[in-house]
């Protein structure tokens, strides 16, 4: 998996700054998400269609996986990456104390952070951001089905704790499901299809 992740161009092979030297860091852990942009998904489907292959409906299900993909195949898919969590083991007490500080630190390292993250001071600002995100979801170059709201202060996150691996300090605001109508025009049964026996009545 590491070899595949190294082919994703948005993940730098070297950090821009040197936290290990400047901050006496003894450990650094970055978490994030690999995704496929809509534009790259359309490009891949276009290539499959020109080759006579079946096009895919789901970007993440077909192209967004890297766990079992070969590095060359991952590179061809042009996957992207957003970092969203940082954990630093430091002896001088300069580790980030808030989620926002952690995101700023990730940016300083040269790691890509979603440009649409926002710091909200009130619950009304959170609701407004969630509402605007749902309205503008189609303008993004990637698919989303909601946004994640997190408590900013790490000390408050620790006090809230985790239940069954689910943090109490983070919640997903899910968008309304998309709805569409379709019309069934015809049902074609192949002539060589085996006949089904009629089930016996009870």
Q: Per-residue confidence of the chain (202 residues) as pLDDT tens digits?
A: 788 888 888 888 888 766 555 556 667 888 999 888 888 888 887 887 788 777 676 655 445 556 556 777 777 778 889 999 988 776 556 778 999 999 998 998 899 999 999 999 999 999 999 999 999 999 999 989 999 999 999 999 999 999 988 899 999 999 998 888 888 998 888 777 666 655 555 5
Contacts of 113 (CB under 8 A, 6+ apart): 82, 83, 84, 103, 106, 107
CB 91 within 8 A of CB 19: no
| pTM of the complete model | 0.74
Domains and CATH numbers, the chain: 1-10+20-113 (3.30.470.30), 118-178 (3.30.1490.70)
* C-alpha to C-alpha distance for 153 and 102, rounded to whole angstroms: 11
């Amino acid at each position: 998996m590491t070899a595949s992740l190294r082919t994703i161009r948005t993940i730098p092979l070297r950090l821009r700054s040197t936290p290990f030297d400047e901050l006496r860091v003894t450990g650094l852990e970055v978490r994030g998400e690999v995704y496929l942009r809509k534009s790259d998904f359309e490009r891949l489907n276009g290539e499959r269609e020109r080759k006579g292959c079946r096009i895919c409906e789901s970007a993440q299900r077909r192209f967004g996986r890297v766990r079992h993909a070969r590095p060359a195949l991952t590179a061809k898919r042009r996957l992207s990456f957003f970092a969203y969590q940082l954990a630093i083991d430091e002896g001088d007490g300069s580790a980030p104390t808030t989620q926002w500080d952690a995101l700023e630190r990730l940016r300083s390292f040269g790691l890509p952070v979603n440009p649409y993250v926002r710091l909200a001071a009130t619950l009304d600002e959170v609701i407004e951001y969630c509402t605007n995100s749902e309205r503008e979801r189609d303008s993004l170059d990637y698919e989303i089905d909601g946004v994640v709201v997190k408590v900013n202060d790490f000390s408050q996150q620790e006090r809230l704790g985790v239940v069954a691996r689910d943090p109490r300090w983070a919640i997903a605001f899910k968008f309304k499901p998309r709805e569409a109508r379709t019309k069934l025009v015809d049902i074609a049964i192949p002539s060589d299809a085996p006949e089904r026996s009629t089930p016996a009545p009870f």
